[in-house]
A and B are shown apart, each in its own frame.
Chain A
């Protein structure tokens, strides 16, 4: 026989339990969907990475052989090096340039019009960017001809043939595409900064770069975390621009991990090796994201 207090508690918990149950009901389809389209393929890929498999018939278990082969391949190390170039280059150029454009245009009358030309390339697909820039950068292409016409150095450079030069120019092409959207994001961040502390800093005598370094930059931190975080993940997965411009070549000199994964799997039919590269890339991406976000969030908590 429950006490009146217990009866009251039971009565109160009934709707709560029903609510919880209905929540599970609503969430279940999504969980199922994520499990089916994300976790099951992930588990399958992990399994395939321990097998030899050409996409037909049944995979043959080979243990760690694919991983051994992967790390023993000097071209794979080139792929890792190029991926690192992409990460550093993407943070330095599209993100840096985006911040510069946003800061310079902030407060300008009709700033949107200033940012618009930088934003338009974002609407172009990566493969199209690759095609456009390979026309510009091919040997004796538009850039070399322009440099020669202007009697500037560099016309003799083989932009897309020599590594790591080809990786650097492709990061340049990617910057042309991606700087605008970063400028847009930083622009939104700048608009959300309250005016009062900035005004107070101005009254205290801060201006120009000092004002930016001491006031604007710290207040932009939450947005920077997002933009840089997206840039890291995006650059680790870089594929389309490279596929459009060099297909990872000549040879394999401009490959990144994403290209290695694709080529091993679908071009060379080594599904097991491709899966091993995919898993390695996933681990690197997740680790990089966790490390970066933990550090950033720790910083913002400490601030």
Chain B
């Protein structure tokens, strides 16, 4: 009798476990409540709390500031931040296989956004862009980063201009002025090398591609653009010349040894490198070290390598804020996206981040950043997409490895360019 009871109990337990494993537990169905108190269709989207996911975990205080700014005007954000971008990307991709699609999430432009658009996973934002362009909140140039088959998807979370940061004390000590031509730039670098100061920062991981980007864009912007659609080969003479220039700069001692893994902001602060080519997000990292813009450091746009260029190329990086298609609060998230592009929201964002804004009407409190923004969005400058986003992922992957090896060893550039072109050939052949 006892054993029969035990058997029955065990079988029941097993069956219960099996059933609970198969039932999907307490996964809510779309529209059954959750965070949202409304879907925005009734005009009450400001009451909604959006599930917001990002790989920018360190930016949480700024997103909290935005909740204060959007209070009563637009939805609030319920923040989930990831510190590891790789884990974050995998999480977002997996979430699209479940019923819990993110209302709002940060992503990447370029190929990676194209993948989501192709699968119909992000909501279209063409109307929002049309309105924002009409209101003067955003440039048409920037829209190109968000356009697939003539339609826009996502809105810009931020923009970053890639410029040269320099240590003011080092410049003062060696009597250096901000260079306005490539010739002056190399003269500054040579003076520093002669004085035993390393002119420039460089890395062999993460940002190993940036000097290739800077030199080629400054030499021939059309060739730089042509790499992104396969119309120009990595072994074309201009590209080879850009690599040779980089090779020569490395040979001349312009760059710090890439094996030094100290943070670039620390190297710039201590004067171990006099300059660093970085996006304007670098301002925040220098501020964290207590450095003051205009006193401890300054910034300038890298002059064109080719003095004959009509416009000075400036590399722009932008990251999107996306709405998941068929997410629980899709309409409210789109309402938030529209609010996000407005001047009030962008002024609050710029103030909180201490960074530039894509909206030219937004108040940028940091004077140096405001000047740079006015400069690069004005006449005489041409905005180009960052190499990482402009290059199809499989080609970028190989290029990053090759540039990393090139930076490390400063060997013959041709082998590296041929390796990247081999991958590019395979990729474009595959695209038909």
Q: B393, A269: Cβ atoms under 8 Å?
A: yes
CA distance A269 to B259 in the complex (A): 28
Q: With contacts A138-B261, A158-B259, A250-B204 known, is A29 near B14, CB below 8 A?
A: yes
Q: A268, B397: Cβ atoms under 8 Å?
A: yes
CA distance A15 to B404 in the complex (A): 70
Q: B260, A140: Cβ atoms under 8 Å?
A: yes
The answer, yes or no, to whether B21 is at the interface (CB within 8 Å) is yes
Query: Of the 9-residue stretches B2-10, B138-146, B157-165, which lies at the interface with chain A?
Result: B2-10
Report chain B residues within 8 Å CB of A281. none
Q: B18, A32: Cβ atoms under 8 Å?
A: yes
Binary interface profile of B, 1-44, with partner A (CB < 8 Å = 1, else 0)? 00110110111011001100100000000000000000000000
Within 8 A of B (CB), among A52-100: 54-57, 75
The answer, yes or no, to whether B328 is at the interface (CB within 8 Å) is no
Q: With contacts A29-B17, A140-B257 known, is A250 near B393, CB below 8 A?
A: no
Q: B14, A32: Cβ atoms under 8 Å?
A: yes
Within 8 A of B (CB), among A7-56: 15, 18-19, 21-22, 24-26, 28-29, 32-33, 36, 54-56
Within 8 A of A (CB), among B81-138: 86-87, 89-90, 93-94, 96, 112, 115-116, 118-119, 121
CA distance A24 to B11 in the complex (A): 8
Q: A134, B404: Cβ atoms under 8 Å?
A: no
Q: Closest residue of chain B to A144, judged by CB?
A: B259
Q: Closest residue of chain A to B86, judged by CB?
A: A266
CA distance A15 to B121 in the complex (A): 58
In this complex, the interface size class of chain A, counting residues with CB under 8 Å from chain B, is 35 or more
The answer, yes or no, to whether A161 is at the interface (CB within 8 Å) is yes
Binary interface profile of A, 252-294, with partner B (CB < 8 Å = 1, else 0)? 1100000000000011111000000000000000000000000
The answer, yes or no, to whether B258 is at the interface (CB within 8 Å) is yes
Q: B119, A56: Cβ atoms under 8 Å?
A: yes
Q: With contacts A15-B3, A29-B14, A55-B90 known, is A268 near B260, CB below 8 A?
A: no
Report chain B residues within 8 Å CB of A247. 205
The answer, yes or no, to whether A171 is at the interface (CB within 8 Å) is no
B side interface size, CB within 8 A: 43
Q: B393, A139: Cβ atoms under 8 Å?
A: no
Q: B116, A56: Cβ atoms under 8 Å?
A: yes
Q: A56, B14: Cβ atoms under 8 Å?
A: no
Report chain A residues within 8 Å CB of B93. 55-56
- B195 to chain A minimum Cβ distance, whole angstroms, is 19
CA distance A32 to B21 in the complex (A): 9
Q: Which of A158, A249, A267 contacts B397 (CB 8 A)?
A: A267
CA distance A251 to B209 in the complex (A): 12
The answer, yes or no, to whether A160 is at the interface (CB within 8 Å) is yes
- The total of interchain contacts (Cβ-Cβ below 8 angstroms) comes to 107
The answer, yes or no, to whether B190 is at the interface (CB within 8 Å) is no
Q: A250, B11: Cβ atoms under 8 Å?
A: no
- A48 to chain B minimum Cβ distance, whole angstroms, is 13
- A161 to chain B minimum Cβ distance, whole angstroms, is 5
The answer, yes or no, to whether B294 is at the interface (CB within 8 Å) is no
Within 8 A of A (CB), among B390-432: 393-394, 397, 401-402, 404-405, 407-409
Report chain B residues within 8 Å CB of A24. 10
Q: A25, B14: Cβ atoms under 8 Å?
A: yes
- B272 to chain A minimum Cβ distance, whole angstroms, is 10
CA distance A18 to B262 in the complex (A): 68
Q: B115, A56: Cβ atoms under 8 Å?
A: yes
Q: A29, B13: Cβ atoms under 8 Å?
A: yes
CA distance A15 to B14 in the complex (A): 21
Q: A22, B7: Cβ atoms under 8 Å?
A: yes
Q: Which of A22, A134, A252, A266 contacts B90 (CB 8 A)?
A: A266
- B12 to chain A minimum Cβ distance, whole angstroms, is 8
Within 8 A of A (CB), among B218-239: none
Binary interface profile of A, 232-250, with partner B (CB < 8 Å = 1, else 0)? 0000000000000001011
Binary interface profile of A, 158-202, with partner B (CB < 8 Å = 1, else 0)? 111100000000000000000000000000000000000000000
Q: Count chain B CB atoms within 10 A of each CB in A160, A250, A253, A270 and give the residue with the most.
A: A250
Q: A134, B86: Cβ atoms under 8 Å?
A: no
- B402 to chain A minimum Cβ distance, whole angstroms, is 7
Q: B402, A25: Cβ atoms under 8 Å?
A: no
Within 8 A of A (CB), among B230-263: 257-262
Q: With contacts A29-B17, A32-B17, A56-B96 known, is A250 near B7, CB below 8 A?
A: no
- B129 to chain A minimum Cβ distance, whole angstroms, is 24
Report chain B residues within 8 Å CB of A159. 259
Within 8 A of A (CB), among B359-374: none
Q: A18, B3: Cβ atoms under 8 Å?
A: yes
Q: With contacts A57-B119, A252-B401, A266-B86 known, is A21 near B7, CB below 8 A?
A: yes
- A132 to chain B minimum Cβ distance, whole angstroms, is 12
CA distance A101 to B119 in the complex (A): 58
CA distance A36 to B18 in the complex (A): 10
Report chain A residues within 8 Å CB of B394. 268, 270
Q: A250, B205: Cβ atoms under 8 Å?
A: yes
Q: Count chain A CB atoms within 10 A of each CB in B86, B94, B259, B262 and give the residue with the most.
A: B259
Report chain A residues within 8 Å CB of B409. 250
Q: B14, A28: Cβ atoms under 8 Å?
A: yes
CA distance A28 to B394 in the complex (A): 45
Q: Closest residue of chain B to A26, judged by CB?
A: B10
Q: Which residues of B contact A (CB under 8 A)?
A: 3-4, 6-7, 9-11, 13-14, 17-18, 21, 86-87, 89-90, 93-94, 96, 112, 115-116, 118-119, 121, 204-205, 257-262, 393-394, 397, 401-402, 404-405, 407-409
- Which 5 pairs between the two chains have the least Cβ-Cβ distance? A139-B259, A25-B10, A251-B405, A28-B14, A22-B7
Contacts A28-B14, A140-B259 aside, 7 further interface pairs with beta carbons under 8 A come to A15-B3, A18-B4, A19-B3, A161-B259, A161-B408, A266-B86, A269-B393
